[in-house]
Amino acid sequence: MSELLDVSSARTIGELGDVGPLSIGCWRLTGSDAENTAVISAAVDAGMTLIDNADVYGLDWGGTHFGACEEALGRIFSAIPGLRDRIVLATKGGIIPGVPYNSSAEYITSACEASLSRMGVDHVDLYQIHRPDNFTHPEEIAQAFNSLKSRGLVREFGVSNYTVAQTLALNAFVDNGLATTQPQLSAAHLDPLRDGTLDLCMESGITPLAWSALAGGALATGKGVAPALLAVLDELAARENVTRSAIAIAFVLAHPSRPVAIIGTQTPSRISELALATSVSLTRTDVYAIIQASDGIPLP
């Protein structure tokens, strides 16, 4: 029998310790307080101990304003005593509608402080630059990081949507290095496998946090996805007695860089379905069949 790939073990993020292989994202946390609480509670109960937020979440997907999803999460922390201590809390900053990016030390510091206030917490475990600001020197960003850490406001730092070169440049200035990078990665979006992102993660001990692990839901609905890819995912889903979505998540988890797959569903029953990804058995033959179907051409 072919060697099985690891999709179930905990992931380690810097000095934060272990988190579950799946994470719940807050981009769509725009329902009622009761609905939001049900989602976060179901996710944490299912082992999704990393909660991924951002200050800009709330400007779309039914939200009402900048910071709305951080405020919503803050209300959940207030409603459920002890929840904050059970999770690893991550948020992001650096996007300003109309600018659009600012990673200056002054702005990142103020943005982080504002995020803490909105969520009603005294620190975040992980703070990430949401998108690269090409007009801030990485040394200045690192100075802001180091200051935030020395003040006890942030424990670890990372980046999101950075190229390999941008990550390396910032990593060179950050005390103890970056803990995470957050690329778009799914069975329908394979760029991080080939652009050096996941290779850098393995080389430098950076944990990848895969956003849009279901290609924005397309891998669940099938809309706009190559029929050949859907066919392979469906075949594996039938074999493993799980949904196509669970297979797609397991594909992300199977990479040896040990990614965390961020899911965005706001349906508690769907959380239980996706959590079954960690029970899937995938071989190299399986994952390469997914890659070949995604590419639409034979592997060399």
Which residues carry out catalysis?
A: 57
Spatial separation of the C-alpha atoms in residues 245 and 263, rounded to whole Å: 10
Six token digits for residue 69: 């999803």
Pairing of strands 154-160, 88-93: unpaired
100 preceded by cis ω (within 30°)?
Answer: yes
49 CB-side CA count, 13 A = 16
Spatial separation of the C-alpha atoms in residues 41 and 44, rounded to whole Å: 5
Phi and psi (nearest 5°) for 281? -105, 110
Cβ contact 204:181 at 8 Å:
no
CA-to-CA separations, 226 to 34, 107, 289, in angstroms, rounded: 37, 42, 13
239 CB-side CA count, 13 A = 12
Dihedral over Cα of 67, 68, 73, 74: its sign: positive
Strands (E), 77-185: 88-93, 124-129, 154-160, 180-182
Q: Output b/e per residue, 81-108; b: 16+ Cβ within 10 A.
A: eebbeebbbbbbbbbeeeeebbbbbebb
Spatial separation of the C-alpha atoms in residues 68 and 57, rounded to whole Å: 7
